[in-house]
Structures are given as C-alpha cells and as structure tokens.
C-alpha cells in the first residue's frame, strides 16, 4: 500500500511592502513562481507595493511566500500581507502584469 498523497491546492492574494519597485522584483516573483510550478500574476501597485495572486500546491505556496519575504538581492522587503482566496485554476503561467 502506497499512502495516498493529499495535495491541497491553495490560492493567496499577496502584497509586498518595502523597496520592491524598480529592482527586478516582479521578474523575481514570476521566476520563483514558475520554478515552484505555481501559477498567478504579479504587478506594481500605485502605492509603491507589489501585489499579486499565487495558486498551486499549498506547501509550495507557503515556500513561495517565504521567498517573497526574503526578496531578491536589490530589494528590501518590510512585510508580506497575505489573504486567502478561492482557488480558481484559471492561470496558465505566472505572468507579470502592467
């Protein structure tokens, strides 16, 4: 008997606050999402934060949010706000929106 692996899909709306615009942060977010096999989108918000949506395996989504807290080498992340969302399965890739 192989134990059945239970994969939970989750969706998180996120907002990253800090020095995160003009530092390649969206590309970093999109790349990490793709590398983890997640889907969603990311964009700059008019208030200086970076916002987006991520969907996929719950464990990988948690890993993804951890990566956002660390950021890339040119960014300085103050905090990441998360809001649970209903999983849609609508996204085909992890895109950068403008």
- DSSP H/E element including 51: strand 50-57
Choosing from 26, 72, 73, 79, the catalytic residue is 26
β-bridge partners, 17: 79
Choosing from 15, 32, 44, 97, the catalytic residue is 44
Q: CA 53 to CA 31: how far, in whole Å?
A: 14
- Is 44 among the residues known to form the active site? yes
Name the DSSP letter for residue 7: P
- Non-local (6+) Cβ contacts of 86 within 8 A are 11
| Helix, coil or strand: residue 6 | coil
- Is 26 among the residues known to form the active site? yes
Which residues does the annotation mark as catalytic? 26, 44
């Amino acid at each position: 008997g192989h134990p059945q692996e239970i994969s939970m899909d989750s969706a998180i709306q996120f907002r990253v606050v800090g020095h995160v615009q003009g530092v390649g942060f969206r590309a970093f977010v999109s790349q990490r999402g793709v590398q983890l096999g997640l889907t969603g989108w990311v964009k700059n918000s008019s208030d200086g934060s970076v916002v987006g949506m991520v969907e996929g395996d719950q464990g990988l989504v948690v890993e993804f949010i951890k990566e956002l807290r660390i950021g890339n080498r040119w960014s300085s992340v103050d905090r990441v706000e998360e809001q649970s969302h209903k999983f849609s399965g609508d996204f085909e890739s992890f895109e950068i929106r403008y």
